[in-house]
Structure formats: structure tokens, C-alpha cells
Amino acid sequence: MVIIINAAGKILMNPLNVAITIRSFDTASEAYKKLIAAARVSYLNSTGLHLSEQALCSALKYADISIAGTEKYTRAVIDAAPQLKIISRVGIGLDSIDLDAAEERGIRVLNTPGSTIQPVAEHTLALLLAVLKQIPDYNYRMRDGDFSIRPGTLLAGKRVGIIGLGRIGKKVASFLEILGCSIGYYDPYVNLKDRNGWYKYASIGELLAHAEIVTIHSSAQQGNACIIDKTALDGITKGIILINTARGSLVNENALIAGLMDGRIRAAGLDVFPQEPYSGPLLSFPQVIATPHIASNTIESRKEMEMEAVKNILDRIKRLT
């Protein structure tokens, strides 16, 4: 029998081991206090970095539960964690976890979808406005003493195509509608018959052919398949603005580069990339505004996500003890 006395002086009999593998977790938060009151933290990632496969295998060796970020829970990682019963993901996407391997082991995979809607929608809008108004470029040039100006572009009146009309996609559409955009969308699982003015495109190709601004809010596809590739972009005859705050795997990097070079893609705002951290050729294009996968990372939303991830664990922990 293992007996642990937690910070509140409570005796935990045979406590479950929790490995916190996400690259950062606020150990001064109320969420952390609730966690250590019910379980023992056997590993805490204090590196500020995504753990490698080897490091994850080591961190999860004795874990019953893990709190995960976007680090890769491959089959090898899951096989190296014989006691693992719950993976609680801080965030919404589950494509970094081998769900088949988890299901085979009977591991419950949980996420925190509600906390990401507002911050990701706001970041999408911020990237779009930064592209249209050329804000980063002006910021850097003024510091170099260059005060020349070029005309910007209005957002109002633009035709926006939204790929993936889930909770985040709907929030983005609502923002843009208020700002005077016309809204179209492609989502095979959604049909908003009761929504006046939002047009449903029959295909991604049709959306790309008609929209002036395209913003992606789709889930990762099976096998990390692309939904924006050379074939899709071949139907574009004008320069569109592309925003991606969903998943880097959804856009083929080579096709995006080709589109930027020949003008079919006028500019892009990207928070996600095929490989992260990203240091590839897209960063050499001045018309690409990039952020390092931080759309959901606000003080408020991060606190909410961490609490939601811990509550997911506490809701199930009684079944394991």
C-alpha cells in the first residue's frame, strides 16, 4: 500500500500517478491544487518544450493519467505506458494522439473544446486584419526609418469562405458578418437552413473559386490528409487571402508556396504548420504572417482549459480508485 499526504494534509491511499507532459502547466493555479488534492504528480514537464517520443515514454512509464498538449502520443509512447488509463488533453484537437492505439488499450481520451472557441476566433480575426492592413510590415519599416505608405484593404464587403463550420468556424463567421462580410461555408456535416445570408458551397473547390478570403476551421483529416492541395488551388483565378488556425496538415506546404509565388494566394496568416516548431520556407515570404501555434494561448483561456482538463480527470478518477 502507498500512502501519500497531500498539501492539504489529506491522506491519499494508493493515489493515482499523473504525468503532466504538456509543455507548460501553471502549478500555482487552482486547477493544479485540485489535481494534487486527488492524485500524485509523478512527472511534470518543466522544459517549456514539446517532449520527444523518447522523453514521453520515460515520463509515462508509471503514469495512470496524463495531462497532454500537442506532443505526439504515438503507438510506441502508449505501449510504453502500461498503467495509463486516461489522457486528458488541454485543448481540442486529438490528432496528436494515436486514438486507435488508445482504444485498443481501453484508454479514455478527453479534451477541452469549450475553452478554445473565443481565443481561436479572435486570433483568426487578428491575423486577417494584420494581413489586410499590413500591420507587421509597417511596424518593422517605421523602426528602420521608412515612412512610405501603400493603400490597405477593407475587410467590409469581402466574400469570406469558411472551411469547417463547427463552434470556432461559427464564431469566426459571426465576427466577420458583423464587420460587413458576406459569409459562405463548406462543411459536409452542417446545413444551416435557418441562417439567412450564409451560403453553403457544394465543395472546397467551389468555395475557393468564389471567396476572396478563406479561413480554415476543420478538424484534422484521417491520415493527416490535406484539404487544400494543388488540385484545389488550381481552380483559383484570383489572389485570395488564406488564414489557417486549425491544423497545419490541412494545407499542402508545396501547393501553398506555389500559390504564393504565382499570386493565386495573395497573402496568408498562419498559426499552424506541417511541422512544429516551424522554420521552413513559408517564413521567407513577406506576405505571410506567422505565429507559433498560439491561437488558443491567452491567459484567460489557458486557465479555463487547464481547469477543464483537471475536472475531466476528477470526474472519472473515482472509478479508478
Residue 290: which residues within 8 A CB-CB, separation 6 or more?
269, 270, 271, 273, 278, 282, 283
Active site residue 293: yes
What are the DSSP E strand ranges found in the chain?
A: 3-5, 11-13, 17-20, 40-44, 65-68, 86-89, 108-110, 159-163, 182-186, 198-200, 213-216, 240-244, 265-270, 288-290
* pLDDT tens series, the chain, 321 aa: 444 455 555 545 558 999 999 999 999 999 999 999 999 999 999 998 889 999 999 999 999 999 999 899 999 999 999 999 999 999 888 889 999 999 999 999 999 988 899 999 999 999 999 999 999 999 999 999 999 999 889 999 999 999 999 999 999 999 999 999 999 999 999 887 656 689 999 999 999 999 999 999 998 888 889 999 999 999 888 899 999 999 999 999 999 999 999 999 999 999 999 988 899 999 999 999 999 999 998 999 999 999 999 999 999 887 765
Q: How far apart are CA 59 and CA 66, in angstroms?
A: 9
Catalytic residue among 293, 304, 306, 308: 293
Strands across the sheet with 198-200, in order? 198-200, 182-186, 159-163, 213-216, 240-244, 265-270, 288-290
List beta partners, residue 40. Answer: 17
Task: Say what the pLDDT of residue 277 is.
Answer: 87
Residue 30 annotated as catalytic: no
Looking at domain 3-111+299-320, its CATH class is: alpha beta
Is 247 a known active-site residue?
yes
Residue with cell 501553398: 256
For residue 109, the SS3 value is strand
For CATH 3.40.50.720, list the domain ranges present in the chain: 3-111+299-320, 116-290
DSSP labels, 18-87: EEE-SS---TTSHHHHHHHTTSEEEEE--SSSPPPHHHHHHHTTT-SEEEE-SS-B-HHHHHT-TT--EE
- Annotated active-site residue in 30, 103, 104, 276: 276
According to CATH, the topology of domain 116-290 is Rossmann fold (3.40.50)
- CA-CA distance, 167 to 152, in Å (whole number)? 30
pLDDT at residue 2 in the model: 45
Residue from 50, 89, 123, 247 carrying the catalytic annotation:
247
**Predicted TM-score (pTM) of this structure:** 0.84
Instruction: Tell me the CA distances in angstroms from 92 to 111, 162, 263, 285, one per residue in order.
Output: 5, 19, 33, 30
